[in-house]
Chains A and B, each alone.
Chain A
């Protein structure tokens, strides 16, 4: 079995919501012509996505060829690299031809990022570029694989990075990737389209509701016929109002919050814009996110009580210093980098602790004890304490709290990256 059978097959279309948006944009999804005029931001983003999709299609196509000729696979890797890097990349080899255009995905992203201001989509594209570069490194390995299995491993890893770079329309954070910024930010607004205030209701259709760089909704004229969304993506729904079909984006709740809490439009700096959705920036963007304050999710008293529970119920396997003995580490550098890499949210960890721990006696502690232990774990991972206790009941908002290294300095942090005193 080839490893990428595990992944969903690469498609040029994302989930249905994105298709709906893409439908509106159909006219603009043409390969950029080889002309001198610079591309609009929207077109550059589409071209970058198109290059990433072409690279994915190239390597998936080689896999499906079942060819026994190594050259087929080497050539596909090179063509994918060319599509990602463009003619100016160090790994570019003209002879193989490119699955994409001359600028390459990185060329397009660099052109978008090459500006003074830092729009809300900049950290997402930054992260997409980092993932594309990681994919290129594995594809470069794949060009020299000795046998199919090694090729498969290298390409499978490249594919994993490319899928993150492609992202999905339901995610407005760093994992949203190119599809995420197209679905949720001004980059998704086609050239010449009607732009309206994202905080207000639409008054005409088609139009695009934008606020603080985010795209909150797309208004579609309502008419007879079927308006079908095969698959709902994240929090999206279809609202029919005033003879229009309203498609709120994944960014709509964030925009609504900003509309309500701020009289004026906030500057679109990435740290402020994403702080409500993600606790930590991906490694590539920690510099710009260092001043972001993660939310305070527990009280100091809870963490102190949790330390006692941990010592008696958890430390035997997870270690007195939280670095693990028989079981994994639960705080510090190893834990937080794994959490970030695997995309763990506070919801995942909360569920696991409440329902599956301790290993040989799951769900055997009181909900107060479990809440205290989670407070202790957050403190040990250098998250700040506050006035509001960690809840004993589930909080749906935890699904949006992505775990990772907390930016900023943490006095007392030990060599394992653990904050022993919270």
Chain B
């Protein structure tokens, strides 16, 4: 029986497959212990596993939704701190912890990696690093695969660490230009469902620094390139003419949000970042494809093939890209169930597309929008949201029980200025202007959007931004962290806040759920505010903290 046949045969035969493959990996990789990292079938079935959280957004579907049901609207008031671990690296915490078999892997702003006991918070091992920071110190997590922990770093390295010990296995510079390129996203492990070489999917952060976006599949054994796909079409490629003159050469379009995959069709859904220079759009006439778009790529072959694209904001003038990982789900539109893909952008839009065609199903404005048709001028002008407003990277969830997408959004406005010229300086922003000056107030919302109609089922308004994404539980709760530092639990049906806890540091990271020894935990990271700092933030510690909560 081939691996493909075994996988097709269903769940019953999956365990032997996993064991067989484990044995193979043990032989092949020597010291690597396969049972320390998930198997191909673990990844395929990640969405239905209440215990482990092995991909940044729970599963390939980008849906922060847990089947765990111990914590409910009835007992959530009894939720209390299980453990809190302070990590010795200061900076904003944007990390999605990866939890597998009782071990939690977290990262800090300067690419330190920690393996924690998921039940106690005790540090099992720590990997420290001190990279050169081009602009923002941040890391969004690790990939766990083939006995190793993988991290992409701020100085453009892809590093493999032994998952059991934290010892370095290999370390390779995988960006093309270390002056303007770095990594913040978590490498995403992916095994083709038919068997074959697994890969790590990783997008480079270079868009706002004069690079062109690229997502690459790396071989996890040595960091060599299996394939890569560039978001800016070059000469001779379709849609190259959406860039005037030579503007495509320094064009942006980073793909540094998450990677959503329909494993049945091997279709990858990716959001592409903003065009550059961000604020002086006159130097790049045209629609600037595929920036500010969602693209669907067929990744079944040797090279990705573009199936469709949907551009949300043609010729963006304000850095309003869609940083949120797309959510792929089957939802009801009117009376028919459709395969849908949902996302949001920094201009304050929520988008619902048909997953097969990319056609627009619905669009909802989730943030205050103003001045969006006027590009930044030399003397400056106002527009809303600013570059930290709208929908940010932390993502959301789809709740099948209410047919709603749960999604936070921000109301922030800015005063924008453009420069006279766009000048590329290696290692500096290539934005031809200044990031917007905050003009306040800066607030946030948690939204439940009815997929059937595109209308809000409920909204909760906060006095502060609410970046913390949304974790929906099968038991009817939504968890989300507020920038001020408070973790909240909402009733999915009503939007009422049922439980809160102040973590003592600013929350920008998404919330997750996992189980150890049959006990359910909620986890969220908090730290410095970084570039999300606003004048109205309450005083809080600058330490990097991981907090977990449980019943009893």
Contact = CB atoms under 8 A, between A and B. Distances in A.
A187 B427 CA distance: 33
A241 to B, nearest CB: 33
Contacts of A3: 176-177
Which 3 pairs from chain A and chain B are nearest by CB?
A326-B530, A362-B434, A149-B225
Given A150-B225, A356-B434, A325 B91 contact: yes
A209 to B, nearest CB: 32
Interface stretch (B17-25, B134-142, B262-270): B134-142
Interface in A322-358: 324-329, 334, 338, 341-344, 348, 352, 355-356
Contacts of B528: 325-326
A359 interface: yes
Contacts of A153: 176
Contact of B224 (A146, A316, A359): A146
Contacts, number: 103
A6 interface: yes
7 contacts: A326-B528, A327-B136, A327-B137, A342-B426, A355-B419, A360-B438, A362-B437
A364 B437 contact: yes
Given A1-B232, A153-B176, A359 B133 contact: no
A310 to B, nearest CB: 16
A149 B80 CA distance: 51
Given A338-B132, A356-B435, A325 B90 contact: yes
Nearest to B530: A326
Nearest to A348: B425
**Of B92, B250, B417, B428, most A-chain CB atoms within 10 Å:** B428
Interface residues of B, number: 41
Contacts of A156: 176-177
Interface residues of A, number: 36
Interface centre among A147, A152, A316, A326 (most CB of B within 10 A): A326
Contacts of A348: 425, 428
B426 A343 contact: yes
Interface in B212-230: 212, 224-225, 228, 230
Contact of B137 (A5, A160, A325): A325
A325 B109 contact: yes
Nearest to A328: B133
A5 B437 contact: no
Interface in A1-44: 1, 3, 5-6
A309 interface: no
A5 B90 contact: no
B234 A328 contact: no
B87 interface: no
A317 interface: yes
Which of B137, B212, B529, B534 counts the most A-chain CB atoms under 10 A from its CB? Answer: B137
Interface in A138-183: 146-147, 149-150, 152-153, 156, 160
Nearest to B414: A360
A329 B130 CA distance: 11
Given A6-B250, A342-B425, 16 more contacts: A325-B91, A326-B91, A326-B109, A326-B136, A326-B137, A326-B528, A328-B134, A334-B132, A341-B426, A344-B427, A348-B428, A355-B434, A356-B435, A360-B531, A361-B437, A363-B437
B533 interface: yes
Contacts of B232: 1
A326 B531 contact: yes
A1 B250 CA distance: 12
B437 A360 contact: yes
B124 interface: no
A146 B172 CA distance: 14
